[in-house]
Amino acid sequence: MAAQPEIDIREGTPDDIVPLEIVYADAFPYEGLMPLVVVLLEPRFAVVSLVASVDARSSGTC
């Protein structure tokens, strides 16, 4: 039986921006909204960012 992946959902941090850029580019290759996403993640905005990791690799955000 294959091992189950370790899934973690947590609040995003500034360290998540680079992995998020990679995931975003793969998921939305024709959209140019990543600069807006980065701005919304700045602490001055009241936006809660959640990051999902599978086996310690960022795999999504909301």
3-39: per-residue pLDDT in tens?
Answer: 888 888 888 888 888 888 888 888 889 988 888 888 8
pTM here?
0.66
End-to-end CA distance of the chain: 31
Is 80 exceeded by the pLDDT of residue 56?
no
CA proximity to 10, closest of 55, 37, 48, 45: 48
Our separate counts of H helices and E strands in the chain read 2, 3
The tokens describing 39, both together, are 């701005």
Distance CA(51)–CA(14), nearest Å, equals 11
The tokens describing 41, both together, are 């993640």
Is 70 exceeded by the pLDDT of residue 51?
yes
Q: Report yes or no: 21 and 60 within 8 Å, Cβ to Cβ.
A: no
Q: What pLDDT does residue 30 have?
A: 93
Q: Which residue has the higher pLDDT, 11 or 60?
A: 11
